[in-house]
Amino acid sequence: MAEVLVFAEHTGGEVKKVTCELLTLARRIGEPAAVWTGPDAEAGRERLAEFGAARVYVAGGAEFDEYVTGPKAELLAALVAEKSPAAVLVAGTPEGKEIAARLAVKTGSGVLTDAVDLTGELVAEQSIFGGSIVVQSKVRAGTPIVAVRPNAVTPAPDTQAAPGAAELVPVDVPVSDAARGARITERVMQERGERPELTEASIVVSGGRGVGGAESFALIEQLADSLGAAVGASRAATDAGWYPHQFQVGQTGKTVAPQLYVAVGISGAIQHRAGMQTSKTIMVINKDPEAPIFELADFGVVGDLFKVVPQLVEQIGQHQA
């Protein structure tokens, strides 16, 4: 059975959920093999095995995290040449797509971005134009490279996982000078508390202009924290400086597709919808019954967010107590 390379993402050895999602899809196509960069592969091994990775190609060098995407793409290109995999799957994050982009040029392969599903025959489902059209597409040149949108598929452990799976296979790919062009000199972590990452969270709570100011975003954060959710914002809120720009959801911000999206004080402009329309369940809190966001709502409350949200937070607290 042909291998399917899955580029594993991890923080300090902890395998990210999106990687488990990719492994789940990879099992439909062939035999999943994870590709790991940096140290701590031993720590991630068990989880990779659980989701069906037969082996893990490990490039342990520190340089993979020191430069922007070049070394990672080079590693994948070397593995593609050596293993002739059926496909390469990466997370559909901005960085994942960039790795895919470079790999595509190196190997002369087609890339499908923002896939929300993938068949065993490598037909990907994508939603385009802000989610209004669904297309099925495939790669017809080179080794198919597919960037899969986080949260699009439910990660399922491999019930047939063999004992001793996820064997660690060290690979030694020297990083060329060309791949060392853009050096990361510092990573600046901005306050996010313990919240999950926006594009990976199963629940996202977003606030818009209706929230009215930076201080009242605390209300959105409280609701998010009561649900274990990430916080998002509309452009009206980020432009006003109420919430940092990297949390903007929409056409010029992040695209999210969580299990639950809660839009608070957001009107639902087409550019905002473009970033959240494919969420599985959508809840809306808005005082204007005519707000277009209600067209997307599975459940909506017409009311003042300053009354509804605190009550909701309290109710969730009681429910969980």
Ligand X SMILES: Cc1cc2nc3c(=O)[nH]c(=O)nc-3n(C[C@H](O)[C@H](O)[C@H](O)COP(=O)(O)OP(=O)(O)OC[C@H]3O[C@@H](n4cnc5c(N)ncnc54)[C@H](O)[C@@H]3O)c2cc1C
Q: Which residues share a beta bridge with 264?
A: 207, 285
48-79 in b/e form (b: 16+ CB < 10 A) is: bbbbbbbbbbbbebebbeebbbbbbbbbbbbb
**What does the DSSP assignment read for 229-251?**
PEEEE-HHHHHTTSS-GGGBBST
- Does residue number 102 form part of the binding site for other proteins (CB under 8 A)? yes
- Minimum CB–partner distance for residue 300 and other proteins (Å): 4
Q: Residue 104's binding partner, choosing from other proteins, ligand X, none, with beta-carbon cut-off 5 to 8 A by kind?
A: other proteins
In the numeric block, which tokens belong to residue 147?
A: 């960037």
Binding map of ligand X across residues 288-307, x = CB under 6 A, - = no contact: x--x------------xxx-
In the numeric block, which tokens belong to residue 262?
A: 């809660």
Which residue stretch of 3-11, 35-43, 174-182, 206-214 sits at the interface with ligand X (rule: CB under 6 A)? 206-214
**252 or 281: CB nearest ligand X:** 252
Q: Which residues share a beta bridge with 33?
A: 5, 55
Which residue stretch of 36-44, 151-159, 207-215, 242-250 sits at the interface with other proteins (rule: CB under 8 A)? 242-250
Counting beta carbons within 10 angstroms of the beta carbon of residue 92, is it exposed (0 to 12), middle (13 to 18) or buried (19 or more)? buried
**196 or 253: CB nearest ligand X:** 253
Which of 39, 51, 46, 41 shows the shortest CA–CA distance to 164?
46
- Does residue number 281 form part of the binding site for ligand X (CB under 6 A)? no
Choosing from 160, 187, 194, 290, the residue that interacts with other proteins (CB under 8 A) is: 187
- Minimum CB–partner distance for residue 252 and ligand X (Å): 4
**2 or 270: CB nearest other proteins:** 270
Site for ligand X in 242-271 (CB under 6 A): 248-253, 265-267, 269, 271
Site for other proteins in 259-288 (CB under 8 A): 259-260, 270-271, 274, 281-283, 285
C-alpha span between 100 and 95 (Å, rounded)? 9
